[in-house]
Copies of this chain bind each other. A is one copy, B any other.
């Protein structure tokens, strides 16, 4: 495992849980590598180390900018190497080895989380045989594995930004507003839970509720008026309400 951040940490757990051995953890900072390696009795190395230990697969779970320097890592030429990034081309690995690919977890991964979520993987390979090897490995650690090329993976990453990063930002705005107005954000948790439950049952387009989709000008103007002392939040309330009205008029 090359990397010791959120993705590397959660993937180590998933891979070890599936019965594989974490041979070595490689990180820029050796203390980070040691922390993660300790749980798996793995060796450690720094990214600038000499030879890496032999392994069946080298997983490069570094951030996107560090990926550009992966060609300088010694000891992985002719080995099976995959990266885990949504919006980085498979070919970033082409100068470091002949057998490479992608193992992209379509999930939000946090080392501080108390549980390991279900992780769908989007995979790709530099050739048919390599893809087949990556597929076998991915299936051994997840029930949901799909092939996706660079363009498809990039699009899934964009869709993921909307449904996860931007949805979470809506929770952030709700939380900041609650804190400012001395409301209890936790009171909203059953509502958040139910909104998410419903998307499993029915198209979110069909289950959209609220003043904007009803074109309820009365409530919209009351809310905008009440938000006059929170201009940033008011601006987004307006933009998002406009967007809801626009998309529902356009697609109905």
Contact = CB atoms under 8 A, between A and B. Distances in A.
Interface of A: 6, 63-65, 87, 106-108, 110, 112-115, 117-120, 144, 146, 152, 154-178, 181, 183-185, 187-205, 207-214, 216, 218-219, 222-223, 226-227, 232-233, 236-237, 239-240, 243-244, 246-247, 251
Contacts of A87: 211, 219, 222-223
B199 A169 contact: no
Chain A interface, DSSP helix/strand/loop, else mixed: helix
Nearest to A227: B158
A3 to B, nearest CB: 15
A144 B191 CA distance: 12
A181 B148 CA distance: 13
Contact of A154 (B168, B209, B210, B222): B222
Contacts of A160: 174, 188, 191
A203 B223 contact: no
Contacts of A119: 190
Contacts of A213: 165
A155 B247 CA distance: 26
A187 B251 contact: no
Given A165-B244, A195-B108, A159 B174 contact: yes
